[in-house]
C-alpha cells in the first residue's frame, strides 16, 4: 500500500506548488474513517481509495481531485457526513464527494431503477464539475482490476454496466486509454471464452508480424526524414474487444481482418501533419474512402488526427494516424490533458469543448421523464459512433451513426424538431427517416402547427430527440384531454342549468384535490374525474335531476340518462339477436361535441371491429386514460357501458373536401371460383376504397366467406361500394359488419 509521503511526492512531481497539507489531511482522515474495514480480497479497505488516487496522479490531476479520490467512499461506507467533510475540507470538496455517493435505503422497484437513479445523480454532479466523473472512472477502473475477488454472480452485472455506461463515458471525455482498459476488463468477464481466443490469436499474430512491423517503421521514418520532417513513428495493435466487436458486426473471421496493426506518426505541428500525409500518399497508393480528417473537423471529445489507409510495403494494407504531440496527449488522456477542468464557476468563460459538449448532453438527458428513461437516453448518446452533417450555413451537427433528419432537427433546436414536416438532403427532398451520412447538407422543412408523431420515437437515435418527442406527445395529449374536459364540463353545466365559469372552478380546486385548473380539466377529459363531482364541488347544494321511464317489459326498453338521454334495447336471455341502441330520447343537441376525425384537438379513436364513419348516428364513450371512443349507434358493444357519466353527445363535423378516411368492415359471401377475389378488389379500387386487411374462411366447397377491412370517406361511399358488390354475379351476399 502506498505511503502518505509517496502520494505527496507523486503530486508534487508534476505540480511543485501543490497543497501538501490538504493531501496529508485527506490521507489521514480517510484512513481513520475506513479503519478496520476490509475488501473482498482481505486487503484493508483504505487501499482502494489510495489506488484510485494513484490512478489520477498518473493523469496529473490537481490536489483537490486527489483529495476527493481519497475521500470518495467516506460518506457512503463510514459514519462521515457531508457537514463534517465541509467543515474540514471546504464546501467544494464536500460537494464533489457527495456527487460520488450512491443512493442508499431508497424504495426503488428494481435493480435497474436503482442503477438509473444513481447514474442520474452522478451525471448531474458531473455537469457541475467534471472531476466527479474522473474520480468515478478511476474508481471503476480499480474495481474492474480487482473484480476477480468479487463473487462470480456479480461479475457479469458489474462488467455489463461498465461496458454500457462507464467505458463510453470515458470515451466521451476523450480518455481513450482508460476506455480501452475498461472494455478489455469487461470483455474478459462478459465473454471469457471469446476473450481468451482473441487474445491468444493476437499474441500469435504479434510475434509473426514483428519483423514486418519493424521494417515499416524504418521505411516510413526514413521517407519523412528525407523530406525534413523529424517524426516519431510507433506501431499499435488493436485490443481484443475492438477486434471481437468488428468480427461480430461484419461477420468476419479472424484471418479476414486487415487492420489489426496500425501506425502512429507524431510530428511537431499541424502544418507538418499535412506535409507528412502528402509524403505518405505520394509514396504509397491510398485506399479510396479510407481518409478522414479529424483535425479540421474534430470529434465531440476533442479527438484530432489524420487517418488514412495505404497499400504499403509487401502490398499489404497499412493504417496510419498522423498527429502532433499535443493531439496525442489529448487523444489518450482526454479532458485530463486540458488545464481547464475546474468547477463550472471558474471555467464557464473558456472551458474545453469536450466538457462543454458533455455538459450540454447531460442537461439534455436530464429532461427525461424518469430515471430509467434517463438511463436509456444515456446509453443512446454515449454508445454510438458519429456522423457529421451540415446546416445550409455550414454549421456542423455531430450525431450518432444511424441518425435521421429528425435527430438533426432536434439537434439544431427543439422547436425545429417539433415543427419538422419534411427535409432536403443535399438538395433533394427525402423522407425524414433517411439515415444520414457523413458530409450531408440537411435542410429542415417546418410547418406552422405541427406535433411530432409518436411513432418517431422508435426511429430516432439521440436521447434529446426521443425525450423531446415524448414530451411534445405528452403535452399534445394533455392539451387534447384538457380541451375535451372543457367541452364535457360546458355541456354538463348547461344540462344542470348552471353557469360554466373558470373562476368558480379555480375556487373549487382544493375540494377536488387538484393543483391547477388545467390538471382538473385534463382529469375530466381522461375520465378520471366525473363532471358531476365538479358541479358538486362548485355548487355544494346541487341536486341531480333524475328522470325515469317506465320500462316496457315486453320490448325490453330501459332508459340510460347520458349526455344525450339515450335509449337502448337489452336482448332477452334466450335471445341471441344483436343488442341495439334504438334511438336518442331526443335529437342530438346543436352543442354536441363535434368530431372531425383523429389527430385533431380532441383525443378521439374509433371502435374496433368496424368503427364509425361520417353519416352514421354516433355515440361517444369516455374511456379513462384513452379519450373518446366513437361507436355507431347500432353497435351492440354499447350495451356494455352502463355508467351514464361516460356517455357523450357527439356529432360529425366533417368539412367539405376532407381527405380523412375512416375504417369500416364488410363481409362478402362469394362463389369459390377463379377471379372472384380479383373482381371484388376491383370494385373497391374503382370506387376509391382502400383495402387495409382481408381474411378468408372457406365455409363450403363452393362458397367463400371474406371479411374486408376497408377505408372509406363516409356512409354514402361505403353504401355505393356495397351496392356495386351486390350486383356482381359471383357475390351471394354482402353486408357491413359492426362489432
Out of 408-412, 464-468, 523-527, 650-654, give the one with best mean pLDDT. 408-412
pLDDT confidence bin for 562, thresholds 50/70/90: very low
Per residue in 461-481, pLDDT tens?
887 888 888 888 888 878 878
**Which is it for strands 690-700 and 703-712: parallel, antiparallel or unpaired?**
antiparallel
pLDDT at 704: 84
Give the residue from 454, 453, 469 showing the smallest Cα distance to 369. Answer: 469
pLDDT confidence bin for 55, thresholds 50/70/90: very high
Which is the catalytic residue, given 77, 164, 367, 601? 77
CA distance 71 to 34: 10
pLDDT at 388: 76
pLDDT confidence bin for 433, thresholds 50/70/90: very high
Query: Which one is predicted more confidently, 126 or 240?
Result: 240
CA distance 76 to 67: 16
Per residue in 144-192, pLDDT tens?
999 999 888 889 989 988 888 788 878 877 788 898 999 999 999 999 9
Per residue in 261-297, pLDDT tens?
889 999 999 999 999 999 999 988 898 888 999 998 8
Query: Which one is predicted more confidently, 213 or 642?
Result: 213
Query: Which one is predicted more confidently, 415 or 603?
Result: 415
Which cell goes with 300? Answer: 465531440
Query: Which one is predicted more confidently, 163 or 120?
Result: 163
Catalytic residue list contains 64 = no
pLDDT at 172: 74
Catalytic residue list contains 77 = yes
pLDDT confidence bin for 622, thresholds 50/70/90: confident
Q: Name residue, grid cell 457527495.
A: 98
- How much is the average pLDDT of 567-586? 36
Per residue in 477-532, pLDDT tens?
788 788 888 888 887 888 788 888 888 888 888 888 888 888 888 888 877 888 88
Alpha carbon separation from 227 to 224, 275, 286, 443 (Å, rounded): 5, 9, 19, 45
Domains of the chain: residue spans and CATH: 4-190 (1.10.3210.10), 194-337 (3.30.460.10), 353-471 (3.10.20.30), 472-538 (no CATH), 557-652 (no CATH), 662-736 (3.30.70.260)
Residue 719 has pLDDT above 60, yes or no: yes
pLDDT at 133: 81
693 φ/ψ angles, rounded to the nearest 5 degrees: -155, 155
| Host H or E run for residue 595 | strand 593-595
Q: Name residue, grid cell 354482402.
A: 734
pLDDT at 351: 47
Residue 590 has pLDDT above 70, yes or no: no
Per residue in 298-356, pLDDT tens?
877 778 899 999 887 767 778 899 999 988 888 777 666 554 334 334 434 344 555 55
Q: Are the CB atoms for 565 and 586 separated by under 8 Å? A: yes
Residue 563 has pLDDT above 50, yes or no: no
Which is the catalytic residue, given 43, 76, 181, 326? 76
The pTM of the full predicted model, rounded to 2 decimals, is 0.54
Residues of the chain above pLDDT 70, percent: 78
Per residue in 174-185, pLDDT tens?
788 898 999 999
CA distance 159 to 150: 11
Residue 588 has pLDDT above 60, yes or no: no
CA distance 311 to 488: 75
- How much is the average pLDDT of 577-602? 50
- Give the Cβ contact number of residue 68 at 10 Å: 31
- How much is the average pLDDT of 604-627? 79
Mean pLDDT of the chain: 79
pLDDT at 184: 94
Amino acid at each position: 500500500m502506498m505511503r502518505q509521503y509517496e502520494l505527496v511526492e507523486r503530486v508534487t512531481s508534476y505540480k511543485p506548488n501543490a497543497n501538501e497539507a490538504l493531501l496529508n489531511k485527506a490521507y489521514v482522515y480517510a484512513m481513520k474513517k475506513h479503519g478496520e474495514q476490509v475488501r473482498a480480497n482481505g486487503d484493508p479497505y483504505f487501499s482502494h481509495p489510495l489506488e484510485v488516487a494513484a490512478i489520477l496522479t498518473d493523469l496529473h490531476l490537481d490536489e483537490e481531485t486527489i483529495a476527493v479520490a481519497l475521500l470518495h467512499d467516506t460518506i457512503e461506507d463510514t459514519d462521515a457526513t457531508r457537514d463534517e467533510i465541509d467543515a474540514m475540507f471546504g464546501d467544494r470538496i464536500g460537494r464533489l464527494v457527495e456527487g460520488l455517493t450512491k443512493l442508499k435505503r431508497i424504495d426503488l422497484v428494481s435493480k435497474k431503477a436503482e442503477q438509473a437513479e444513481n447514474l442520474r445523480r452522478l451525471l448531474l454532479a458531473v455537469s457541475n464539475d467534471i472531476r466527479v466523473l474522473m474520480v468515478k472512472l478511476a474508481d471503476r477502473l480499480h474495481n474492474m482490476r480487482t473484480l476477480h475477488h468479487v463473487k462470480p454472480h456479480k461479475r457479469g452485472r458489474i462488467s455489463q454496466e461498465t461496458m454500457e455506461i462507464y467505458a463510453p463515458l470515458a470515451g466521451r471525455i476523450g480518455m481513450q486509454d482508460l476506455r480501452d482498459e475498461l472494455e478489455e476488463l469487461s470483455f474478459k468477464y462478459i465473454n471469457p471464452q471469446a476473450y481468451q481466443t482473441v487474445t491468444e490469436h493476437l499474441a500469435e499474430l504479434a510475434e509473426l508480424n514483428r519483423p514486418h512491423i519493424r521494417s515499416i517503421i524504418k521505411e516510413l521514418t526514413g521517407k519523412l526524414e528525407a523530406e525534413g520532417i523529424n517524426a516519431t513513428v510507433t506501431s499499435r495493435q488493436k485490443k481484443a474487444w475492438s477486434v471481437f466487436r468488428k468480427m461480430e458486426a461484419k461477420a468476419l473471421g479472424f484471418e479476414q481482418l486487415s487492420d489489426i496493426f496500425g501506425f502512429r506518426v507524431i510530428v511537431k505541428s499541424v502544418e507538418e501533419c499535412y506535409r507528412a500525409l502528402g509524403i505518405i500518399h505520394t509514396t504509397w497508393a491510398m485506399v479510396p474512402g479510407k481518409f478522414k480528417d479529424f483535425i479540421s473537423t474534430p470529434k465531440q471529445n476533442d479527438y484530432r488526427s489524420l487517418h488514412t489507409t495505404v497499400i504499403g510495403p509487401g502490398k499489404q494494407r497499412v493504417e496510419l494516424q498522423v498527429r502532433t504531440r499535443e493531439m496525442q496527449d489529448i487523444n489518450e488522456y482526454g479532458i485530463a490533458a486540458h488545464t481547464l477542468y475546474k468547477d463550472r464557476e471558474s471555467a464557464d468563460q473558456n472551458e474545453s469543448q469536450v466538457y462543454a459538449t458533455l455538459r450540454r448532453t447531460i442537461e439534455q438527458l436530464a429532461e427525461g421523464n424518469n430515471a430509467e428513461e434517463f438511463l436509456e437516453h444515456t446509453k443512446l448518446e454515449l454508445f454510438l459512433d458519429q456522423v457529421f452533417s451540415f446546416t445550409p450555413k455550414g454549421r456542423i451537427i455531430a450525431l450518432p451513426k444511424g441518425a435521421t433528419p429528425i435527430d438533426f432537427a432536434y439537434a439544431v433546436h427543439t422547436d425545429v424538431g417539433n415543427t419538422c414536416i419534411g427535409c432536403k438532403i443535399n438538395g433533394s427532398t427525402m423522407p425524414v427517416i433517411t439515415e444520414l451520412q457523413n458530409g450531408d447538407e440537411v435542410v429542415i422543412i417546418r410547418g406552422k402547427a405541427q406535433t411530432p408523431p409518436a411513432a418517431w420515437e422508435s426511429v430516432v437515435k439521440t436521447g434529446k430527440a426521443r425525450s423531446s418527442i415524448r414530451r411534445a406527445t405528452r403535452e399534445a395529449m394533455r392539451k387534447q384531454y384538457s380541451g375535451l374536459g372543457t367541452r364535457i364540463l360546458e355541456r354538463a353545466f348547461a344540462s344542470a342549468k348552471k353557469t360554466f365559469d373558470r373562476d368558480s372552478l379555480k375556487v373549487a380546486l382544493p375540494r377536488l384535490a387538484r393543483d391547477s385548473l388545467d390538471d382538473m380539466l385534463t382529469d375530466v377529459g381522461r375520465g378520471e374525474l366525473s363532471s358531476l363531482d365538479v358541479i358538486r364541488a362548485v355548487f355544494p347544494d346541487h341536486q341531480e335531476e333524475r328522470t325515469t321511464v317506465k320500462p316496457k317489459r315486453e320490448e325490453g326498453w330501459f332508459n340510460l340518462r347520458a349526455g344525450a338521454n339515450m335509449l337502448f334495447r337489452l336482448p332477452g336471455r334466450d335471445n341471441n339477436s344483436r343488442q341495439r341502441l334504438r334511438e336518442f330520447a331526443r335529437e342530438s343537441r346543436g352543442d354536441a361535441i363535434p368530431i372531425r376525425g383523429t389527430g385533431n384537438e380532441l383525443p378521439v379513436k374509433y371502435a374496433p371491429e368496424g368503427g364509425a364513419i361520417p353519416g352514421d348516428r354516433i355515440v361517444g364513450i369516455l374511456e379513462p386514460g384513452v379519450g373518446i371512443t366513437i361507436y355507431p349507434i347500432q353497435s351492440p358493444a354499447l350495451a356494455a357501458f352502463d355508467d351514464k357519466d361516460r356517455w357523450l353527445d357527439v356529432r360529425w363535423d366533417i368539412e367539405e373536401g376532407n381527405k380523412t378516411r375512416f375504417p369500416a368492415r364488410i363481409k362478402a359471401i362469394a362463389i369459390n371460383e377463379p377471379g372472384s377475389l380479383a373482381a371484388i378488389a376491383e370494385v373497391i379500387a374503382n370506387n376509391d376504397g382502400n383495402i387495409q386487411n382481408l381474411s378468408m374462411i372457406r365455409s363450403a366447397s363452393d362458397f367463400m366467406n371474406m371479411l374486408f377491412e376497408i377505408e372509406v370517406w363516409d356512409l354514402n361511399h361505403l353504401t355505393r361500394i356495397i351496392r356495386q358488390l351486390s350486383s356482381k354475379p359471383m357475390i351471394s351476399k354482402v353486408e357491413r359488419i359492426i362489432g
